[in-house]
Structure 1
Amino acid sequence: MIDIGSNTVRLAVYQVTANGAFRVIDQGRWPARLSQKLTQDGELPQDAIRELAEVLLHFKRICHMHQATRIKAVATAAIRQATNREQALEQLSSLTGLSIELLSGEDEARYGSVAMLRTMDVEDGFVVDIGGGSTEITLLRKREIVASISFPFGCVNTARRYGLKDDAVPSAAMEQITADLAAQLRAEPWIRSHAGLPLIGLGGTIRSFAKIAQRSVDYPISNLHGYEFPPNALSDTLQALAPLNVERRRKIPGLSKDRADVIIPGLLILQAVFQACQASRLIVCGAGLRDGIFFETCLPSEEVRLASRQVLEDSIRNLTALYPTVPQVHLDQVNRLALRLYDSLAPDAGLPPSCRPLLDSASRLFRIGSIIDVGDNADHTFYILMHAHWNGLGHREMLLTAAIASFKGTGAMRNKLAPYRSLLTDGDFERIGKLGMLLQLAAALDRSESQGIAELEIAIHKGKQLVLSAAANHPLQVERMEVETLAKDFKKSWGLTPVVQIAKFV
Structure 2
Amino acid sequence: MGLLPATTGPVGDRLLPVAIIDIGSNSVRLVTYDALTRAPTPIYNEKMLCGLGRNVLTTGRLNEEAVRRALSALTRFRILCRTMGVTRLHVLATAAARDAENGPAFLEAAEAACGTRIELLSGRREAELSALGVISGFHAPDGVVGDLGGGSLELVDVRGQVVGQGVTMPLGGLALQDLSGGSLKKAAKLVREHMRKAAPQLEILKGRTFYAVGGTWRALARLHMAARQYPLHVMHGYTVEPSDELSFLQVVEQSDAAQLQDVDVISEARRPLLAYGAVVLEEIIRVGRPREIAISASGVREGLLYEQLDRDQRAGDPLLTSAAELNALRARAPAHGEDLRAWTDRFVESLDGPETADERRLRHAACLLSDLGWRAHPDYRGEQSIALIQNAAFVGVDHPGRAYLALAVAFRHVGVAPERANPVLRAMAGPRLFERARLLGALLRVAFPLSAAMGGVLGTTPLAVVDGRVTLQLPPELRDLNSERLQGRVRALARLLSLDGRVIAG
TM-score of the alignment, normalized to the shorter chain, above 0.5:
yes
SS of the residue corresponding to residue 464 of structure 2 reads strand
Q: Could you tell me which residue of structure 2 aligns to residue 302 of structure 1?
A: 311
SS of the residue corresponding to residue 34 of structure 1 reads coil
Q: Could you tell me which residue of structure 2 aligns to residue 219 of structure 1?
A: 230
Change (3 A) 1:448 1:41: closer
User: Residue 315 of structure 1 is aligned with which of 314, 319, 322?
Assistant: 322
Q: Is the CA contact (8 Å cut-off) linking 2:404 and 2:434 kept in structure 1? A: no
- Tell me how far 1:264 sits from its aligned partner: 0.9
- Tell me how far 1:351 sits from its aligned partner: 7.7
Q: Is the CA contact (8 Å cut-off) linking 2:22 and 2:93 kept in structure 1? A: yes
- Tell me how far 1:103 sits from its aligned partner: 1.2
* Greater alpha carbon shift after TM alignment, 5-14 vs 288-297: 288-297
SS of the residue corresponding to residue 215 of structure 1 reads helix
Q: Counterpart of 2:487 in structure 1: which amino acid?
A: E
Instruction: State the distance in 1 between where 2:266 and 2:443 align.
Output: 43
Q: Is the CA contact (8 Å cut-off) linking 2:124 and 2:166 kept in structure 1? A: yes
SS of the residue corresponding to residue 283 of structure 1 reads strand
Q: Could you tell me which residue of structure 1 aligns to residue 388 of structure 2?
A: 384
- Tell me how far 1:262 sits from its aligned partner: 0.8
Q: Could you tell me which residue of structure 2 aligns to residue 7 of structure 1?
A: 26
Q: Does 1:330 align with 2:336?
A: yes
Q: Could you tell me which residue of structure 2 aligns to residue 399 of structure 1?
A: 403
User: Residue 196 of structure 2 is aligned with which of 186, 191, 198?
Assistant: 186
- Tell me how far 1:91 sits from its aligned partner: 1.9
Q: Is the CA contact (8 Å cut-off) linking 1:447 and 1:479 kept in structure 2? A: no
Q: Is the CA contact (8 Å cut-off) linking 1:14 and 1:23 kept in structure 2? A: yes
Q: Please list, as runs of the form range in 1=range in 2, the aligned pairs for 1:178-327 lying within 5 A after superposition.
A: 178-194=188-204, 195-249=206-260, 252=263, 254-297=265-308, 300-303=309-312, 305-306=314-315, 310-321=317-328, 323-327=329-333
Change (3 A) 1:99 1:374: farther
Q: Is the CA contact (8 Å cut-off) linking 2:416 and 2:438 kept in structure 1? A: no
Q: Is the CA contact (8 Å cut-off) linking 2:58 and 2:179 kept in structure 1? A: no
Q: Counterpart of 2:122 in structure 1: which amino acid?
A: S
Q: Does 1:88 align with 2:106?
A: yes
Structure 1, residues 37-62: CA drift from partner, whole Å, max 9, x if none?
A: 53844122444322211111122222
Q: Is the CA contact (8 Å cut-off) linking 1:42 and 1:81 kept in structure 2? A: yes
Q: Please list, as runs of the form range in 1=range in 2, the aligned pairs for 1:144-155 lying within 5 A after superposition.
A: 144-155=162-173
Q: Counterpart of 2:283 in structure 1: which amino acid?
A: A
Identity of aligned residues (%): 23
Q: Counterpart of 2:503 in structure 1: which amino acid?
A: V
* Greater alpha carbon shift after TM alignment, 224-233 vs 326-335: 326-335
Q: Is the CA contact (8 Å cut-off) linking 2:401 and 2:429 kept in structure 1? A: no
Change (3 A) 1:72 1:450: closer
Q: Is the CA contact (8 Å cut-off) linking 1:120 and 1:391 kept in structure 2? A: yes
- Tell me how far 1:458 sits from its aligned partner: 3.4
Change (3 A) 1:473 1:384: farther
Q: Counterpart of 2:343 in structure 1: which amino acid?
A: L
- Tell me how far 1:224 sits from its aligned partner: 0.9
* Greater alpha carbon shift after TM alignment, 107-116 vs 33-42: 33-42
Q: Counterpart of 1:314 in structure 2: which amino acid?
A: T
Q: Counterpart of 1:182 in structure 2: which amino acid?
A: R
Q: Please list, as runs of the form range in 1=range in 2, the aligned pairs for 1:367-378 lying within 5 A after superposition.
A: 367-370=371-374, 376-378=380-382
- Tell me how far 1:253 sits from its aligned partner: 6.0
Q: Is the CA contact (8 Å cut-off) linking 2:491 and 2:500 kept in structure 1? A: yes
- Tell me how far 1:237 sits from its aligned partner: 2.3
Change (3 A) 1:456 1:226: same
Instruction: State the distance in 2 between where 1:116 and 1:364 align.
Output: 24
Structure 1, residues 200-237: CA drift from partner, whole Å, max 9, x if none?
A: 11011221111011111110110011111133233222
- Number of residues of Structure 1 aligned to a counterpart in Structure 2: 484
Q: Counterpart of 1:8 in structure 2: which amino acid?
A: S
Change (3 A) 1:81 1:344: same
**Over aligned residues, Cα RMSD in angstroms?**
3.0
Change (3 A) 1:107 1:320: farther
Q: Is the CA contact (8 Å cut-off) linking 2:151 and 2:175 kept in structure 1? A: yes
* Greater alpha carbon shift after TM alignment, 283-292 vs 233-242: 233-242
* Structure 1 segments unaligned to the other structure (5+ residues): none
Instruction: State the distance in 2 between where 1:247 and 1:457 align.
Output: 59
Q: Counterpart of 1:263 in structure 2: which amino acid?
A: L
Change (3 A) 1:15 1:315: closer
- Tell me how far 1:352 sits from its aligned partner: 7.5
- Tell me how far 1:132 sits from its aligned partner: 0.2
Instruction: State the distance in 1 between where 2:338 and 2:479 align.
Output: 18
Q: Please list, as runs of the form range in 1=range in 2, the aligned pairs for 1:329-478 lying within 5 A after superposition.
A: 329-345=335-351, 347=353, 355-370=359-374, 376-407=380-411, 408-410=413-415, 414-420=419-425, 422-426=427-431, 429-447=434-452, 449-452=454-457, 453-454=459-460, 456=462, 458-460=464-466, 466-470=470-474, 472=475, 474-478=477-481
Structure 1, residues 298-354: CA drift from partner, whole Å, max 9, x if none?
A: xx33256437xx343333233334x2423333222222122222222353xx98886
Q: Counterpart of 2:337 in structure 1: which amino acid?
A: L
Q: Could you tell me which residue of structure 2 aligns to residue 106 of structure 1?
A: 124
* Structure 2 segments unaligned to the other structure (5+ residues): 1-19
Q: Is the CA contact (8 Å cut-off) linking 1:480 and 1:500 kept in structure 2? A: no
Change (3 A) 1:65 1:373: farther
Instruction: State the distance in 2 between where 1:109 and 1:339 align.
Output: 40
Change (3 A) 1:72 1:334: same
SS of the residue corresponding to residue 298 of structure 2 reads coil
Q: Counterpart of 2:346 in structure 1: which amino acid?
A: R
Instruction: State the distance in 2 between where 1:434 and 1:389 align.
Output: 25
Q: Is the CA contact (8 Å cut-off) linking 1:108 and 1:289 kept in structure 2? A: yes
